[in-house]
Amino acid sequence: MAIITIFHNQYIHMRTTLLFIGTRFALILFLSLSCLQVAKAQKKEQRPPNFLIIFADDLGYGDLGVYGNPTIATPNLDRMAHEGQKWTNFYAAASVCTPSRAALLTGRLPIRSGMSSNKHRVLFPDSKNGLPADEITIAEQLKQAGYNTACIGKWHLGHKEQYLPTNNGFDYYFGIPYSNDMDKLTEMPYWDYWQQKDEDIKTEHFNVPLIRNTEIIERPANQHTITKRYSEEAISFIKENKDEPFFVYLAHNLPHIPLFASKAFTGKSKRGLYGDVVEEIDDGVGKILAVLKDEGLADNTIVIFTSDNGPWLPFKNNGGSAGLLRGGKGTTWEGGMREPTIFWGPGLIAPGTVSDIGSTMDLFVTFSSMAEIETPQDRIIDGVDLSATLLNRETGPRKSIFYYRGRELYAVRSGDYKAHIITQGAYGEFGERKVHEIPLLFNLNHDASEQFNIAKEHPDVIKRINELIELHNSGLVKGEDQLAERE
């Protein structure tokens, strides 16, 4: 009996010891894992967010499902909007390609950089100049914080080597340097060419070069596969640079005409060829978002989807729709410059619909703020910081929009109201140029279609906007026109 008691006591002692050791081991393991998680969290906290801009070309305000299109299926962009922020009053800085892109990348009205012109509204394959070297792009700004940067897609800020993305802060470039309708090889007059059937418009009719960094790798570029290849290039760059902060500027050449889709998307949309093209862009967006989630990057990446200007309406079914907005590409009516815009970032963006005013120029300042980089002090930056709205749904700081056509100010929005000083149609539509002695005035919250002129009822608003214009003009230094000269 005594022996049994001794063994029993030894067993109790051993079990207590093992339990003690196990508890200590578990505690040490728990503390180690906790420290590791804290270290990872701190590292993640210290790393600034990644940024990805997806920029469509000539996409209208009414061309996405989430913005009311009944026949173009955009499930990935719709999901982006539901998980992130859908903006209803977001603007490009111009209604045509070149000045719009210059403004996005520099945070400045294109009139300041000289990237707008009354002679040639965009750059061409024989244009002499491009974005001035002393302009600072978002890519150059983010390089200060150690970002890896890529430009994929349409550039349209100068095709010569000194103007290409690799000389403007981008580590990598893959794309077409200007619009996909340029370098046309057929002798048929431009506008006559588009009267043909879709099947008679061929990708080989446009001798546009596909460039990797500074080398032409394909000419003419196969535009049937260009949308898919752009999305794949963006995905590859993300995967290769996932361990460092990155900025990707993915600027699709489409749905600018000519319209081309891959075999997988040709005939897929109820909206016809235009819908096919938009749905293929949406598919690429979905694949990019999936990669961000799979690589564990989604909670520290902000993705923005928007367009460079409104739809090219003269192309009818091969052009897009501005929805309820008036006008389209080339005009300073709302349809020319107000764009569908979505911000997505599940770990950062506070979801919801935002009706505050925003501009593509604001991305320069917003990215700088989030990456903790001081904005340049030696020049006027027209963008404002939207980070508090994006992260916390605070009221946005932007109160006005200046609508330039070429080198002239045509309209100004201040709060709810927009005054048109000059109105003019584009491409033979929506009227001739007219200077208004008393500006046309619209309340855009009540009348987004700009149908009902209320100038007579609100002379006080006209007075306030005129004072805003005087203040703007008093500090305006117009940059030398970079678009006028062609070789």
- Cβ atoms of 124 and 486 within 8 Å: the answer is yes
Spatial CA neighbour of 402 closest among 411, 393, 394: 411
Before 189, cis peptide (omega within 30)? no
Among residues 97, 151, 252, 256, the one annotated as catalytic is 97
Phi, psi of 263 (to 5 degrees): -55, -35
Asked if 156 is an active-site residue, the reply is yes
Token reading at 352: 């919801």
Extract the tokens encoding 422. 């000059």
Given 13, 151, 156, 159, the catalytic residue: 156
CA distance 119 to 442: 29
Residue closest to 81 by CA, chosen among 388, 305, 396, 366? 305
- For tokens 């505050």, the residue is 356
In contact, 56 and 254? CB cutoff 8 Å? yes
Q: 420, 454 in Cβ contact below 8 A?
A: no
Do the beta carbons of residue 374 and residue 145 sit within 8 Å?
no
Task: Name residues whose C-beta falls within 8 Å of residue 255's C-beta, 6 or more positions apart in sequence.
Answer: 56, 57, 58, 59, 63, 274, 277, 278, 281, 320
Residues with a catalytic annotation lie at: 97, 156
